[in-house]
């Protein structure tokens, strides 16, 4: 079984702060719908409203936008 949180953490850890900020900007510009492809790529194929919120928060932390 895939643990989407660990997969997302691992994939976000690989990004620089600038890349995380750019990804976050793209997600917000396109709208974070339940089926957002960039979030699916970061989580290993998983999407839901709660997952998307957590991934956006992880990206914000990596980019230095939130704590």
Instruction: Return the pLDDT at 30.
Output: 81
For position 32, what pLDDT does the model report? Answer: 60
Residue 57 CA to residue 65 CA, distance in Å, equals: 9
- The confidence band for 67, taking pLDDT boundaries of 50, 70 and 90, is confident
For 4-62, write each residue's pLDDT tens digit: 999 999 999 999 999 999 999 998 888 767 788 899 999 998 888 899 999 999 999 99
Classify each residue of 7-30 as buried b or exposed e, where b means 16 or more C-beta atoms within 10 Å of its C-beta: bbbeebeebeeeebbebbeebeee
For the chain, the structural domain boundaries read 4-63
pTM score of the predicted model:
0.87
Per-residue pLDDT at 1: 54
């Amino acid at each position: 079984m895939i643990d989407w949180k660990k997969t997302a953490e691992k994939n976000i850890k690989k990004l620089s702060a600038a890349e995380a900020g750019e990804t976050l900007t793209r997600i917000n510009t396109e709208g974070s719908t339940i089926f957002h492809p960039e979030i699916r790529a970061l989580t290993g194929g998983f999407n839901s409203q709660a997952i998307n919120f957590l991934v956006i928060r992880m990206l914000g932390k990596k980019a230095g936008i939130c704590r």
